[in-house]
Amino acid sequence: MDLIINFTPTGMIPTKEMTPHIPVSVTEIIENVHEAVEIGITMVHLHARDEITGIPTYKAEVFGKIIEGIRKFSRDLIICVSLSGRGIREFEHRASPLQLDGELKPDMGSLTLSSLNFNNTESVNSPEMIQRLALEMKDKGILAELEAFDAGMINYAKYLEAKGLLQPPLYFNLLLGNIACAQADLLHAGLMIHDLPQNSFWSFAGIGNTQLKMNSLAIAAGGGVRVGLEDNIWFDKERTRLATNSDLLIRVHKLAEANSRNIMAPAELRKLLRLKPGFGEYGRDYSW
């Protein structure tokens, strides 16, 4: 199978003080995605920032500006909006980007499958919140981008599928290397792949220094990759060089070439995930 590249340009944590390369403004995020499309990606996982403070925002109007800008140059790129639980607790706020419609409708929305701790903060995802977000996406014809940081979260996805809140085919980001979750090694990686539900597609993400290792493993193992400054701001393990998003994407392309993996076009993944074709039609295709 061709290589899924899930591009994560911004995230919630990196700031201009940490790295000048992080895109924060609407214009910067759009420009970074444009560069990524020219290099070659399959989908993009978007976070939005307040235009004045640079603080992460849930507001639909900011996400809408970013999506509008992206679709001016790429009308079929698969767009996922973040529904993160880091610092945002109210359902109405977290679900705000899901209210966008028409040309601004996202194809996917992120769904973290349990609460977890990072180094210095937490992501709170109660069972009620997860199920309400899953139902909101199902009702609006938006595919959940399932975020699993350990095998237990994969099991919870199976529970949601059994309840009818998730419908296959499913797409998982398997995130390894976080301090309180599955570690970035072969045992944890293999266990998570083994536990995936049938009819699932997956990409590996590595947190911090583990991004290159997990991207390399995914490419060699036939999976997809999640890559970008959201997860890692450094180009090298020794942290002597700050990366740009283009640096990280070009390196993934070189690894893909070395492993004889072609990059999957958005149109192909749309078919595999049963998404509408783009070009004005976005989200889940329930006609099958």
Mean pLDDT for the stretch of residues 221-225: 98
For residues 232-271, one letter each, b for 16 or more C-beta atoms within 10 angstroms of the residue's C-beta and e for the rest, the string is bbbbeeeeeebbbbeebbebbbebbeeeebebbebeebbe
Number of C-beta neighbours around residue 19 at 10 A = 14
Predicted pLDDT at 150: 97
C-alpha Rg value of the chain to the nearest Å: 17
Predicted pLDDT at 288: 65
* CATH dotted code for 5-273: 3.20.20.70
Strands 170-176 and 5-7: unpaired
Percent of the chain at pLDDT exceeding 70? 100
pLDDT class of 85 with cuts at 50, 70, 90: confident
Among 5-14, 48-57, 159-168, where is mean pLDDT lowest? 48-57
Mean pLDDT for the stretch of residues 119-144: 95
pLDDT class of 287 with cuts at 50, 70, 90: confident
pTM: 0.97
Percent of the chain at pLDDT exceeding 90? 94
Predicted pLDDT at 51: 85
Encode pLDDT of 194-211 as tens digits. 999 999 999 999 999 999
Mean pLDDT for the stretch of residues 137-166: 98
Mean pLDDT for the stretch of residues 212-228: 98
* Domain limits, the chain: 5-273
